[in-house]
Amino acid sequence: EAGVAQSPRYKIIEKRQSVAFWCNPISGHATLYWYQQILGQGPKLLIQFQNNGVVDDSQLPKDRFSAERLKGVDSTLKIQPAKLEDSAVYLCASSPWGDRGETQYFGPGTRLLVL
Amino acid sequence: RKEVEQDPGPFNVPEGATVAFNCTYSNSASQSFFWYRQDCRKEPKLLMSVYSSGNEDGRFTAQLNRASQYISLLIRDSKLSDSATYLCVVNTNAGKSTFGDGTTLTVKP
């Protein structure tokens, strides 16, 4: 079974530039998560999708971050404009239904450096 | 106060040692609990779920204390390959996950 795919794996941009990340979850998984992991911290949930609907985006900085999952499969996360403090690893995860007891399967992440 | 708190460590132990990590959570409505393992520069992976009655998987034992709102992970007979960061994860009934900042373990020969 193929795992969660993410691209790009690394990205370096200057502040105020825009950047987009892509995620393809495990086939058949209805729930998709985007996390931000800053060095030395645990992953912080940015947004959770159930199929193509948003379940939770309470911690998404909506003035600069946006995410979509138009067809209920793959997803993109965009930052516009980027700030220095956005430097982090952006992790995508998926689970079958998003139930409280389910395992989340993570992709390898995208490492973003904002200069 | 963070919703999920862990001792960051690092824990430096010799091979064969027993080591225990604790994690406390503040949301009394939390329903599901997990330990994930994250190797350096890798993604988190599920180590084990934590059940109310406690559960064991080989050298790993997880315990939950709902009254005191903490979970624990015990690793017996530590191996070099156990060196990693261990993340405590707490889920609400709605499936929202909150991760702790992790505890770093280094097992030395």
Quick one: average pLDDT of B31-39?
Answer: 95
Q: For residues A107 and A6, what is the distance between their CA atoms, to the nearest angstrom?
A: 6
CB-CB neighbors (< 8 A) of B96 in chain A: 45, 48, 56
Residue A3's contacts (CB-CB under 8 Å, 6 or more residues apart) are: A26, A105, A107
Taking only the tens place, the pLDDT of each residue in B76-93 is 999 999 999 999 999 987
Ramachandran bin of B3, using left for φ above 0, alpha for ψ from -120 to 50, beta for the remaining angles? alpha
Tell me the count of A-B CB pairs closer than 8 A.
Answer: 55
Here the tokens at position B2 are 């963070």
- Minimal-distance CA residue of chain B relative to A99: B95
Here the tokens at position A23 are 């995620």
Per-residue pLDDT at A98 exceeds 90: no
Mean pLDDT over all residues of chain A?
A: 94
What pLDDT is stored for residue B28 in this prediction? 87
Residue A63's contacts (CB-CB under 8 Å, 6 or more residues apart) are: none
Calculate the alpha carbon distances from B108 to B11, B14, B16, B81 in Å: 10, 5, 9, 10
Quick one: average pLDDT of B28-36?
Answer: 91
Taking only the tens place, the pLDDT of each residue in A9-43 is 999 999 999 999 999 999 999 999 999 999 999 99
Please judge whether B32 and A43 are an interchain contact, meaning their C-beta atoms are less than 8 angstroms apart: no
Cβ atoms within 10 Å, residue A19: 19
Query: Which pLDDT band, with edges at 50, 70 and 90, does A52 fall under?
Result: confident
CB-CB neighbors (< 8 A) of A104 in chain B: 44, 46, 97
Mean pLDDT over all residues of chain B?
A: 94
Can you say whether the dihedral through the CA atoms of B47, B29, B21, B75 is positive or negative? negative
Cβ atoms of A89 and A23 within 8 Å: the answer is no
- Minimal-distance CA residue of chain A relative to B7: A41
Q: For residues A95 and B36, what is the distance between their CA atoms, to the nearest angstrom?
A: 15
